[in-house]
Amino acid sequence: ELVDVQYVAILLNAYNDDVYYRIVDKKNQILIKEACKNIQVVLEELVALQGDVVCTGNGVELHAALLQEALKNKFKTTSFQLPIKQI
């Protein structure tokens, strides 16, 4: 079942704590086109989003602990591969 979310963040491992990423909204409009930044910078951008978000890609599994720590007060989830609902 698809869940209506505001944003999708695709995170791919770029090594050395960097990720290639793209963030799109639910209308598939690109907020951040392909970029490569340190995961800490990307976390700040994800925390600043207003609304629900789905994170996907091999960078999510690699940085799952950091994502859970940074987003714990804003998001509720059982898995970062599934839609994350804002609380």
pLDDT in tens, 34-73: 899 999 999 999 989 887 778 888 898 899 889 888 877 5
Position 1 pLDDT exceeds 90? no
Q: List the one residue out of 17, 35, 1, 87 whose CA is nearest residue 9.
A: 35
Q: Which of 15-24, 46-55, 72-81 has the lowest mean pLDDT?
A: 72-81
Contact 11, 35 (CB under 8 A): no
What the block records as the tokens of 62 is: 């690699």
Q: List the one residue out of 83, 87, 69 whose CA is nearest residue 3.
A: 83
